[in-house]
Chain A
Amino acid sequence: METQKNTKKTLPFRLNILFLIVFICFSILVIKLGTLQIVKGEDFRKEISRTENHIVREPVPRGKIYDRNGRIVVDNDGKNAISYTKAKDTKQDEILEVAKKLSQLIVVKTDKLTERDLKDYWILTRPEEAVAKLTKAELSNKKLESKDLYKLQLERISTADLSKISMKEKQVASIFREMAKGYALTPQIVKNDDVKVDEIARVSENLESLPGVDVFTDWKRMYPNGDTFRSILGNISTDEEGLPANLLDYYLSRDYSRNDRVGKSQIELQYEDVLSGQKAKTEYEVGQSGKIEQSKMISEGKRGKDLVLTIDLELQKKVEEILEKQLVSGKQNGGGPFLDRAFVVMTNPKTGEVLSMSGKKLTFKNGKYEVDDYALGTFTSSYEMGSVVKGATILTGYQTGVIQPNTYLVDEPIQLASTPIKKSWRTMGRINDLEALRRSSNVYMFKTAIRSLGSEYYHMMKIPLNYDAFDTYRYYFNQFGLGVRTGIDLPSEAAGLPGSNSPNFLLDFTIGQYDTYTPMQLAQYVSTIANDGYRAKLQMVKEIREPNLESDLGQIQHSFEPVILNQVDMKDEYIKRVQEGFRQVYQESGGTATSYFGSKPYSDYNLAGKTGTAQSFYYDSEKKKLYVDEPTFNLTLVGYAPFDNPEVAFSVVVPYVKSDKHPINKLIGQDIIKAYFELKEQAPVE
């Protein structure tokens, strides 16, 4: 039982105790503070001065591409650009802050802004209203994670809300969008289209207060020659696309950034290493405060090296025109329903340099024919090439000893037990090897093939079951590049399709009616014959040049010397013999090409080569239909000139022509060889 009086006494006592408690609390604070600042202070101090080094790689312009005569094929259009690089722990509101400042200095297009972008921006800039979009129950609902809440907010933002975003704010939102989307430590382009000089000036002046922002020269690929050779040049990815998904790991392991523009196809892809250049590397020392303490340029960066192609751009243009013209006129003059494509490949037989490669494809669009580029088809599509391969057949015959130079055989209709009568386009009687080439005898090849199978032709004979013969023939054909990759420096080259090994088909094989080859392989085949049996690797790029600030070519960094893939495993005299046969095809009366090339100006070029016709069936890849009832002909032509010192070799392939009498292959041959020599006269090459 205490009294009020007692209470009076307890009051100061308890107040003293309370004060003691306060004293203890404050002492705890001071003691803890002392351990933190005095005892451990030095550790913290050290941690602060500990910095992290980050390396930022800045992109450099890509190398240019020139033709063999130094004409620009692919150029870069330099343009001013503003970029932003965020640090590893840059927060959204910090980016927004920079975006706000930047929006006062530059003007950007807002058309890329999506509704989602605007909603994100709305939530970021109006946090109070954004929270108000959620009910109390939702906010206290433990099951909803922050991303669920965010989703709800996104759903509930009305168009009326978005309409409150002013035009000025949309500018900020646009800039923010570009800035925020990149990866940390990877420069992200904020604006590179139509950047005004005064914008650059304003941003440059204010770089101090715009952390992460930089001004640099961006580039865009330019093609001064329009569509000429365009499909072989290939494409690069945009910075939106960045690294192609299928090559992501490959590129990332090679120091690429995810938003780098890289070669996606053809030359741009093949020579990515050369063209991409060395990025400028800057090392930033970032302190604990997140501020950049100092930066050090590790390497200055170098624009990509330039490529000099083996292609002669003028010739290429001419050839493309010729193909287009002949294809359209062929179509109009009895080419038939399936004629839709034609190819030309021209090389230097001694070096393997590709001087021109063209392919054109007709497509029926909107009631008329349009010509599309199909240069890729020269090494990605293959066809039965017909009699052009007979040179290889004769050579195989010589080398295996079944015929000798000047062996006579009788060209007569051949009746085998299992097949319909086989014959040449006309019955030629007793002919030798040269005549067989000149007049393109099928029977001469058949009889050679039968000998290879270990027999001699007789009426109603059965084909001997000798499976090795095929291997022998393909072994020698491969040495000319037929049925193997030509080694051309372009991705995804096709090797052609070999058929089965059945001896029944060897006869068809010897006249080019069985295995399929690409126009590129055909060019290598004729080049190998022209080059006395030396098969040169086909080459698209002649030289790699150091980047030069001026528009002209820089120093040669690497020159691609001709690469001889193999020497044909045959006696020299045999090859000379076939060369002579090829000469007669073009130059002697009775030659299958003489009527088109026997007169001036073609007779002056001293041509040699072979014509070819193969029966074929059109396959419609869209309708997936093979037209077996309407046979067509693949018309081909190979050649080289001048005969005694060849400097150009070519293959012409025109598949799916209605008639084997159609002259389209020879007309194209005439035009391209004429174009070659005319251009040579105008401006002597090298």
Chain B
Amino acid sequence: MSTKNTSTSRLDYNLILILFLLFLASCISIYSAQKSGQYIDKFLIKQLVWYFVGTGIIAVVIHFDSDQLKKLSWYVYGLGISLLLFLIVAPASIAPVINGAKSWFKVPGMGSLQPSEFVKVFIILALARVIVEHHQKYRLKTIQSDFWLMIKMGLITLFPLVLVMQQPDLGTSLVFISIFLGMLFISGVSWRILVPIFSVGTTLVAIIFYFVLWKPEILEKYLGVKEYQFGRIYSWLDPYNYQSTTGFQLTRSLLAIGSGETTGKGYGQREVYLPESHSDFIFSVVGEEFGFIGASILISLFFLLIYQITKIGMETKNDFYTYVCVGVISMITFHVFQNIGMTIGVLPITGIPLPFVSYGGSSLWGNMLAIGLIFSIRFHYKKYMFSTSE
């Protein structure tokens, strides 16, 4: 048995294969997107570099076991919060305002670095640790202890959430919230708390939607929100009426994907001009060039990825690992669902990238960091199993 206990055998080859396929999808679609002649940058070459570095990140992270990760979690969480704080005070020379948001650090040689992409993972680690420690402390679960756990988790999420929202970066804020919700769900908090919370939350969202759609003047009167700020929602529901303004991207994206039909137009045969097609709207490239078949394969890849992580989360006997897995699942699922959803009109447009596929260093590294944690789980839980069996 111990002969199998080599470092290679502890690598999750399924995960590696899925990642490699996503990497291919990324390269293929970015190369096609950059050919639209809209930009001068060589996105593909840079993306290859980001992937190379990202692999390095996995190689490092894989060596940390659960104890080390638990210990580190508060430090990295603190580091993330400080980076986000520093963004606020940093001068424009270090943290310029791009597209109206102050979310990036200028990094010589690389371009820009977005700390919030890493903070997602730090939140996952911190939440996982809090849940584990909570359960160790309160062996007997009561409603009170569950509430207390929920408050602790809420606070951990709240700090970075506030910092990110003021940048302002709605997309990332929503990612934080979905990580929180996913991990709250799995944390073992009683249904008696969860059911009311989720139903109240859903009702609230429904009510807000009702007002946005039918009574915007009331929101304007009592909350001071202007009608035009709901443009995102209006243009999502009725893109063709807002085609010249906020609905432009959605109508173009629908046109691109829809016209791809079942089999697509073929590689490099795109017809619809779409801004940001290399980053947030990369899915429209896939949809247009490879059609329903290609797009479905890409969605399936993500599903397999989630499945694989879920499986790992199930198999591990270490609760901390399970929580980390759920955090990563929540994060990736939200990213994928939100990103693809917005390109096909299921959700309003929010500027978040498609994990592993969209162009962008920070986003990729954040995701590689998260997937690095999963690799490390596989890498270490076998060893743990062996050690107990001995």
Contact = CB atoms under 8 A, between A and B. Distances in A.
A binds B: yes
Interface of A: 1-4, 6-7, 10-12, 14-15, 17-19, 22-23, 25-26, 28-30, 32-34, 36-38, 40-45, 47-48, 127-129, 131-132, 134, 136, 139-140, 142, 287-291
Contact of A18 (B97, B182, B260, B303): B182
A11 B272 contact: no
A33 B295 contact: yes
Interface in B241-295: 254-255, 257-262, 271-273, 287, 291-292, 295
Given A18-B326, A139-B97, 17 more contacts: A3-B140, A7-B188, A11-B319, A18-B182, A26-B303, A28-B341, A29-B299, A30-B296, A32-B344, A33-B299, A33-B344, A37-B258, A128-B98, A140-B168, A288-B272, A289-B271, A289-B272
A34 B98 CA distance: 36
B239 interface: no
B257 A37 contact: yes
A482 B272 CA distance: 71
Contacts of A19: 306-307, 310, 329
Given A23-B303, A30-B299, A290-B273, A38 B345 contact: no
A32 B236 CA distance: 14
4 smallest beta-carbon distances between A and B, as pairs: A44-B258, A41-B261, A44-B259, A132-B92
A140 B101 CA distance: 10
Given A15-B313, A34-B292, A48-B272, A22 B257 contact: no
A41 B260 contact: yes
Question: Which of B96, B139, B142, B188 has the most C-beta atoms of chain A within 10 angstroms of its own C-beta?
Answer: B188
Contacts of A23: 303
A124 B346 CA distance: 34
How many residues of B sit at the interface, in one of the four size bands? Answer: 35 or more
Nearest to A142: B226
A139 B260 CA distance: 39
B337 A25 contact: yes
12 contacts: A4-B141, A18-B326, A22-B303, A29-B340, A33-B340, A36-B258, A40-B258, A44-B254, A48-B259, A128-B92, A136-B102, A139-B100
Contacts of B186: 11, 14-15, 18
A25 B333 contact: yes
Given A15-B310, A131-B96, A131-B100, A36 B141 contact: no
Contact of A41 (B262, B326, B346): B262
A7 B135 contact: yes
A37 B319 contact: no
Nearest to A26: B303
Nearest to B96: A128
Contacts of B336: 26, 29
A337 to B, nearest CB: 69
A156 to B, nearest CB: 13
B141 A29 contact: no
A517 to B, nearest CB: 62
Contact of B97 (A28, A128, A289): A128
B5 interface: no
Contacts of B260: 37, 41
A37 B286 CA distance: 12
B141 to A, nearest CB: 4
A29 B322 contact: no
B261 A38 contact: yes
Contacts of A41: 258-262, 292
B302 interface: yes
Contacts of A37: 257-258, 260-262, 287, 291-292, 295
A43 B254 CA distance: 11
A15 B314 contact: yes
Contacts of B314: 12, 15
A44 B341 contact: no
B344 A36 contact: yes
A15 B333 contact: no
A10 B97 CA distance: 46
A552 to B, nearest CB: 49
A22 B272 CA distance: 31
A17 B310 CA distance: 11
A127 B96 CA distance: 10
Contacts of B310: 15, 18-19, 22
A140 B313 CA distance: 42
Nearest to A93: B38
Contacts of B322: 11, 15
Given A2-B141, A22-B329, A36 B257 contact: yes
B185 interface: yes
A523 to B, nearest CB: 62
B190 interface: yes
A25 B139 CA distance: 34
Contacts of A44: 254-255, 257-259, 261
Contacts of B295: 33, 37
Given A44-B255, A132-B97, A33 B292 contact: yes
B271 A48 contact: yes
A441 B70 CA distance: 129
Contact of A43 (B96, B135, B258, B273): B258
Interface string B326-348: 10011001001100110011100
Interface in B303-324: 303, 306-307, 310, 313-314, 319, 322
Question: Which of A22, A37, A289 has the most C-beta atoms of chain B within 10 angstroms of its own C-beta?
Answer: A37
A32 to B, nearest CB: 5
A114 B296 CA distance: 54
A410 B255 CA distance: 101
A44 B258 CA distance: 6
B313 A3 contact: no
B299 A26 contact: yes
Contacts of B272: 48, 288-289
A632 B223 CA distance: 84
Contacts of B188: 7, 10-11, 14
A611 B42 CA distance: 89
Contacts of B92: 128-129, 132
